[in-house]
Chain A
Amino acid sequence: MIPLAQFLKRTPLYQTHTDLKARIVPFAGWEMPIQYSGILAETRAVRSRAGLFDVSHMGRLYISGPRDHLLMDWVLTARASDLRQGGARYAMLCNEEGGVIDDTVFYKLGGSGEQHGSDLPGLIPASYYLLVCNAANRQHVLPWLRRWAQEKFPGTSIEDGTEATAMLALQGPSSSAVMDRLCDVAPANIRPFSAIKGNVASKLALISRTGYTGEDGFELIVSAQDAPHVWEALTGEGAVPCGLGARDVLRLEAGLALHGNDIDASTTPLEAGLERFVRLEKEFVGVEALRRQREAGLRRRLVGLAVQGRSIARRGYPIVDAASSPPDAPHRSVGKVTSGTYSPSLDRNIAMGYVLMEFASPGQALQVDIRGNLAEADVVSLPFYSRRRG
């Protein structure tokens, strides 16, 4: 039993996880499954078939009102006001220094031809935005949005729909076949980075063709009470239950940043290599700091590392350049690991970390100090793993 259990929240699928004998751990204030059958087995299941994740702990914030698009444009690095109905986009929220408060996927929903209202008690907007944020950051993002709404965009409504809903991620090459059997919308009609309302196992769901694994997949938002039924229908069609441990391995293999590890309030999107999700010509919180940084040039950059040997290069381990250190002097640290793991898909160890700009080019040979022993680590382009397409 987790001693702090009384202070932790449970998703609508908690009972489902304990019935499956998942290993439950505290995560961002929630009791979450870290694994069921094993992290590596689950990772392999997603890469070869389909895995199912409970991501209900993530924040789901609904933004509406006549100026909702202006608020979204103001707080996000990407443009929101030109997002088509039913579209989804990845972007970051920055503070005034250009540091990343959170990274999110946001959606433009509502509009004609779509059922609405049944999943948003008391709120029936014609069109609205959904912003999905990291579980750990909901407590910062919600007040941040409310502050800017109040200061600059009065009349904008921000509702927290997290606890009334659940979110499931179905990921893997077989996910489309699974959805085909359970969904009344043909998967072919749900394009990547778009969202549509439909029924999954006869339950109303917001279905998006998005994910955090680098595989084809779907994320489903359903009402809290429908979650166990939908989960069981999906696993009944062959989706393998997967926990947060596998989720972390998969996203790292796919070269995707994790807020709290690879990006945080002290790193900018430019340093993290996420400049393609930033519109520097747009006015948004933090843009001036980012423009100045681009002008001055970056001093460090987030890179991928292919690590030799069998010992994992873990978060916090120094990255060194043994070649430029004198033989009798301590190794010159040129950076630090932010995430690292064993990759079963590549059968090797991988890591991400920030290094000084002059060492950030693919092919650069560096080392990671793994508890006193140096392991060779070459800078490589991201992603580490790409799925086969076609």
Chain B
Amino acid sequence: MNPTDRKYSREHEWIKVEEGSRGLVGITHFAQDQLGDVVYLDLPRVGTRLRQSAKLGEVESVKAVSDVYSPISGEVVEVNPDVIDHPEVVNEDPYGRGWLLRVEIQDLSELDNLLTAEQYEAYLRETSH
């Protein structure tokens, strides 16, 4: 159910490596489902330096505000304009059109700290009963 072409954090973010050392970052299906209708995203500007596991911004739904953490260290090179204008895209397509940031990855070996789709799904089963 969760795409195998990317890696996952325990805070329910994903990163999909593109050619070279760039990556797309977003939140998982589980995260958007827990949040409910997303109404606003507070995301870092282009040029912001990110650190793996540090808070990068907030995603706001009708019911709550949630912190988003960076799955990787690097620099923001693009922010998805679609999710700014139409936050509901994050609910509709969290792995596709609902991507949040494009990042220049600082250190690819940090990906080893993340989970595969299978490991993430096992983690979800363990933690939600």
Contacts and interface: CB of A to CB of B under 8 A. Distances in A.
Interface stretch (A34-42, A80-88, A186-194): A34-42
Contacts of B78: none
A105 interface: no
Contacts of A39: 36-37, 62-63
B62 A341 contact: yes
Nearest to B63: A245
Interface in A287-306: none
Nearest to B128: A1
Contacts, number: 36
B10 to A, nearest CB: 21
Contacts of B120: none
Contacts of B91: 38
B62 A1 contact: no
A35 B36 contact: yes
B40 A371 contact: no
B36 A1 contact: no
Contact of B40 (A35, A38, A41, A311): A311
B40 A310 contact: yes
A142 interface: no
Contact of B62 (A310, A342, A371): A342
A183 interface: no
B39 interface: yes
A70 interface: no
A382 interface: no
Interface centre among B40, B62, B65, B129 (most CB of A within 10 A): B62
Contacts of A314: 65
B48 to A, nearest CB: 17
Given A39-B62, A40-B62, A341-B62, A245 B36 contact: yes
Contacts of B88: 40
Interface string A1-38: 10000000000000000000000000000000011001
Contacts of B63: 34, 39, 245
A73 B88 CA distance: 49
B67 to A, nearest CB: 11
Interface residues of A, number: 16
B30 to A, nearest CB: 13
Interface centre among B39, B60, B129 (most CB of A within 10 A): B39
Interface string B62-105: 11010000000000000000000001100100000000000000
A249 B62 contact: yes
A185 interface: no
Nearest to B37: A40
Given A1-B129, A38-B91, A371-B65, A311 B36 contact: no
Given A38-B91, A312-B60, A342 B39 contact: yes
A310 B88 CA distance: 13
B42 interface: yes
B62 A311 contact: no
A341 B129 CA distance: 30
A35 B39 CA distance: 16
Contact of B39 (A34, A41, A312): A312
A254 B42 CA distance: 29
A1 B62 CA distance: 22
A312 B62 contact: yes
Interface in A303-347: 310-312, 314, 341-342
Interface string B95-129: 00000000000000000000000000000000001
Nearest to A349: B39
B54 to A, nearest CB: 18
A96 to B, nearest CB: 36
Contacts of A311: 40, 42, 60
A38 B60 CA distance: 15
A245 B88 CA distance: 17
Contacts of B40: 310-312
Given A41-B37, A312-B60, A312-B62, 15 more contacts: A34-B63, A35-B36, A38-B37, A39-B36, A39-B37, A40-B88, A245-B63, A310-B39, A310-B60, A310-B87, A311-B40, A311-B42, A311-B60, A314-B65, A342-B62
8 contacts: A39-B36, A39-B63, A245-B36, A245-B62, A310-B40, A312-B40, A342-B62, A371-B65
A-B complex: 5 closest residue pairs judged by Cβ atoms: A310-B40, A40-B37, A342-B39, A39-B62, A39-B37
